[in-house]
Structure 1
Amino acid sequence: MSSTPQIDDTLRDKIISSPDVILEDRDLMRALIAANEKTMGGNIVDLRGIAMERLEARLDRLEDTHRSVIAAAYDNLAGTNQVHRAILRMLDPVDFESFLRDLGAEVADILRVDSVRLVLETEQDATGDANIQKLGDVLCMAEAGFVDGYLTGGRAMPSRQVTLRQLQTGADAVYGEDADWIRSEACLRLDLGEGRLPGMLVMGAEDPHQFTPQQGTDLLAFFAGVFERAMRRWLS
């Protein structure tokens, strides 16, 4: 190898003073390795170059994983903030009617869902109750046993607190006129206290991918717990 410099003195001095600049430039390192392989000839296998390529491929995979983890963390943080804002808004009303109206309006907007329904079981016929009819956009009255049957599809299995699923169409008994365009839903089973029939809070979405069984349910379980306590206060 000739010791006579073949590059500009200024550039040469800069490289000598900061060699890490070259080492950190992936494209430049590839070009240097490729040039080195040409000088060795075609009948020589550069194991070091092969090892470096494998390390680069592994680094690329690690960087992709790192970006995915960061994106998931941001999504979780955004979801947590959404639920916290919805809970604070839910605790503002001072009467039950305002509580339910906010549930179908401001709370639904914060959670970015297209429909919210509160299903309460009753052993009495409440279809003619004027107060219930006024809240018909949010409140649904159903016969005893409806909640568990809705969550399990009539199968003999325990219902979970949070059920996420995709739909062909929503249930008329829950969504009413909006049922045709509901494509996914989150069902939160509510324990309203000793001696009371269970309830269910249902969030429906037009997007079939907004709620799927593969998603985590921790935040919605927390929301359901807060909602249960708020309902017990109104029902007491």
Structure 2
Amino acid sequence: MADTASIAADLRDRLIAEPEVILEDRDLMRALIAANERAMGANIVDLRGIAMERLEARLDRLEDTHRSVIAAAYENLAGTNQIHRAILRMLDPTAFEEFLKNLGGDVAQILRVDCVRLVLETVQEDRDPSLERVGEVLCVRDPGFVDDYLAGGRGAPERQVVLRQIHSDDGSSIYGEAGAYIRSEAALRLDLGNGRLPGMLALGAEDPHQFRANHGTDLLAFLGGVFERAMRRWLA
């Protein structure tokens, strides 16, 4: 009994010296509040305890929000770094064929997409047959194709960047054989300068959730802005 009393006394002295030990332990505080409620009896309503429970619930929600904000910030930072690395790699080539090969290779890997297509509109009479031989990344289409593709056949496109899920036959006209596996895409409309027909950069992914309509498009719009300026240099 003496040993027990001595241990209890040491514990009591420590708690008196450092009361924050109890205050910072949520489980211990719950146990103390529950013990206090039992001591008061069942016919007494502890308004202070109810208030504390509500404050605790609000604190839990605030902590969840805080964690969500931090996670979103880290994700946005990672996305920004990814776009920056893709742009730097995209600007490395000094020849157009190398530029196109780079799009389907290193740039696609950095962006973590499974297929990249550059669509250029040209009039049939002015079409250069050599464009068809520079690789599968480049697709040459008739005037009006880009806007119709972005709008999905529903009039003029409302956005410069379209994120959507697609079916196996939706993207076959630009993705070729890879279209059988592409399930989501980001389509970026390109302004190639005055007097030129528009173009489009399409990023296709096998993951149906990689590009969704409710995702933000700011970073992709920035990528498209840099890309179209690079294309004007090649077309000059």
TM range, normalised to the smaller chain?
A: over 0.9
Alignment match, 1:41: 41
SS at match of 1:83: helix
Q: Which has the higher helix share?
A: 2
CA distance in structure 2 between the aligned counterparts of 1:168 and 1:206, rounded to whole angstroms = 10
CA distance in structure 1 between the aligned counterparts of 2:162 and 2:130, rounded to whole angstroms = 31
- Whether the aligned pair in 2 keeps the contact of 1:118 and 1:201 (CA below 8 Å) is yes
Listed as ranges, the gaps of 5+ residues in structure 2 are none
Q: How does 1:22-171 map to 2 (within 5 A)?
A: 22-124=22-124, 129-135=129-135, 137-169=136-168, 170-171=170-171
- Whether the aligned pair in 1 keeps the contact of 2:192 and 2:199 (CA below 8 Å) is yes
SS at match of 2:60: helix
Alignment match, 1:201: 201
- Whether the aligned pair in 2 keeps the contact of 1:126 and 1:132 (CA below 8 Å) is no
CA offsets per residue over residues 171-215 of structure 1, 9 Å max, x none? Answer: 221100111111100000000000000000000000110000100
The TM-score with structure 1 as length reference comes to 0.94
Instruction: Report the AA paired with residue 105 of structure 1.
Output: G
Q: How does 1:161-200 map to 2 (within 5 A)?
A: 161-169=160-168, 170-200=170-200
Listed as ranges, the gaps of 5+ residues in structure 1 are none
The TM-score with structure 2 as length reference comes to 0.94
Instruction: Report the AA paired with residue 201 of structure 1.
Output: L
SS at match of 1:147: helix
Structure 1 stretch displaced more, 78-87 or 6-15: 6-15
- Whether the aligned pair in 2 keeps the contact of 1:127 and 1:133 (CA below 8 Å) is no
Query: Could you say if the C-alpha distance between residues 158 and 130 of structure 1 is closer, same or farther in structure 2, counting changes exceeding 3 Å?
Result: closer
Query: Could you say if the C-alpha distance between residues 185 and 125 of structure 1 is closer, same or farther in structure 2, counting changes exceeding 3 Å?
Result: farther
SS at match of 1:105: helix
Q: Percent identity?
A: 70
- Alignment size in residue pairs: 231
- Whether the aligned pair in 1 keeps the contact of 2:148 and 2:155 (CA below 8 Å) is no
